[in-house]
Amino acid sequence: MALGENPKISSCVWRLIEANPLAFGAKRYNVTLLTFWKKAMPTQASKELETFENPHPERDYHIHMEIPEFTCLCPKTGQPDFATLILDYIPDEKCVELKSLKLYMWSYRNEGAFHEAVTNHILNDLAAATQPRFMRLTAKFYVRGGIFTNVVAEHRKSGWQPAPRVDLAAFEGNSNTRG
């Protein structure tokens, strides 16, 4: 397998490339390493969701993610629809891996989908991959034709009941934005 075909190039190999880019196909040293890295490590959209073992399956805990750059196409006009997706879940045995989630979300950029359909489809795929105790996906679509659309879809594992609520500070919108 050629170097550029291997998506899991090791950091050791990367250090060799960085030390001597000419030996690995860079035409001249002033070629930016980022450009060369992209050539060696292509990233493409994917419908494959990867998971990893939950490090604490004995405990209910809340994972909160905000995905502010979701894009799909309007199935009627072909125009882009933009949304912020908010994923909240309580994992069971598996958690979703973030890079695969990013590439999965990216895969919708050229697909036409109604807001309600795409929200439920994403939730179904995430729930199938992770089999969580509870999962909620909130899709906040930006204005289109003077109308904002919010879609909330939930999945609950059969028989799972949440522990009694402890009222602590909730996550605020853009809670990971500092400033």
Look at residue 157 in the predicted model and tell me its pLDDT. 94
Instruction: Write the pLDDT tens digit of every residue in 123-164.
Output: 999 999 999 999 999 999 999 889 999 999 999 999 988 888
Q: Can you give the residue ranges of every domain in the chain?
A: 3-40, 51-156
Look at residue 171 in the predicted model and tell me its pLDDT. 62
3-class DSSP string for the chain: CCHHHCCCCCHHHHHHHHHCHHHHCCCCCCCCHHHHHHHHCCCCCCCCCCEEECCCCCCCCCEEEEEEEEEEECCCCCCEEEEEEEEEEECCCEEECHHHHHHHHHCCCCCECCHHHHHHHHHHHHHHHHCCCEEEEEEEEEEECCEEEEEEEEEECCCCCCCCCCCCCCCCCCCCCCC
Residue 84 Rama label (left phi>0; alpha psi -120 to 50; beta): beta
Annotated catalytic residues are 74, 81
Instruction: Write the pLDDT tens digit of every residue in 77-134.
Output: 999 999 999 999 999 999 999 999 999 999 999 999 999 999 999 999 999 999 999 9
Contact 90, 60 (CB under 8 A): yes
| 51-156: CATH class | alpha beta
Look at residue 173 in the predicted model and tell me its pLDDT. 60
CA dist., res. 81 & res. 144, Å (int): 8
pTM listed for this prediction: 0.71
Edge-to-edge strands, sheet with 134-144: 63-73, 80-90, 134-144, 147-156
